[in-house]
Amino acid sequence: MTSPQDPHTKLYSHINGQTSDLLDRYAVSELCKGWPVYRDASEWQNYRDLFTAEGAYVWTTWSGPRTVDEFISISKAGKEKDVFIMHRECGTLVELGKDKTRAIGKMKATITHRFKFSPQHSNGTHAASNGSNGTTGTHPHDAAKAEGEYEFDVDCDCRFIFFVEKNASTNNEWKTRYVKLFYEKDKVVTVDGFTAPRFSKAELERIPKGYKYLGAAQARLGYEIDLDLPTASGELWDRMYGEMEKWLEGGKVDLFWEGKQ
């Protein structure tokens, strides 16, 4: 359930305004839309061009905090092992800071992770933990390539938050510094209409509501799940909005929360 409270303490430029505001917000929205378009298609040069040259980080359930270059490398390795993650963009809006050199992009999206489980995975459990190792030993999806495997999806409704800045030294281009998500609601979706795994209470209780099924399925395959990601309400929801406002006001932000709760 989402919180009924307005998380913002101030109103920023988000609709209408001068032509320059409209153009800036449009440019930032293009960056946001680049994530589902470029990453899903493995257009890695275009994807990398969404981010600042240095100091850019992204967070996901299965990777924890990673530099964008590390994230691209891990994503490539996963795709080589048949990891199949897609994104559906469901609407994007942008807020501009008052000095017009920083912005926050808010992209509603659904993450769809296709899983292939063999029968031995259907009742297995793997502990989720804080961390950012991404995978363990041999790639987790190697274990699922067994006879009798079946497919299912986990759909996770999210809001991608892009922390974006304008760089005067690069012709005033907008580039992304950080991407962190609100994980709001997820569900298991059958592919064939009737086959899906059952997750134990213990598996689901380890992972925050909002990405518990996604995290539980990824944990069964050996991923270390980041347990300190914001969801639709609660302490980290408040903290995330606080960091978003710091960014818009030109302040220093701290999004590295892993193991600090």
pLDDT tens track for 92-130: 999 999 899 999 999 999 999 999 987 555 554 433 344
Residue 147: pLDDT band by 50, 70, 90 thresholds?
very low
CA–CA dist 156, 159 (Å, integer): 10
Residue 168 is classified by DSSP as G
pTM given for the model = 0.89
Structure tokens at 191: 């592919």
How many angstroms separate the first and last alpha carbons of the chain? 21
| Under 8 Å between Cβ of 181 and 66 | no
Q: Is the pLDDT of residue 85 over 90?
A: yes
Residue 196 is classified by DSSP as -
261: closest CA among 241, 239, 233?
Answer: 239
Tell me how many degrees the CA angle 81-142-138 measures, rounded to the nearest 5: 95
pLDDT in tens, 165-190: 998 777 889 999 999 999 999 999 99
Strand partners, 180: 161
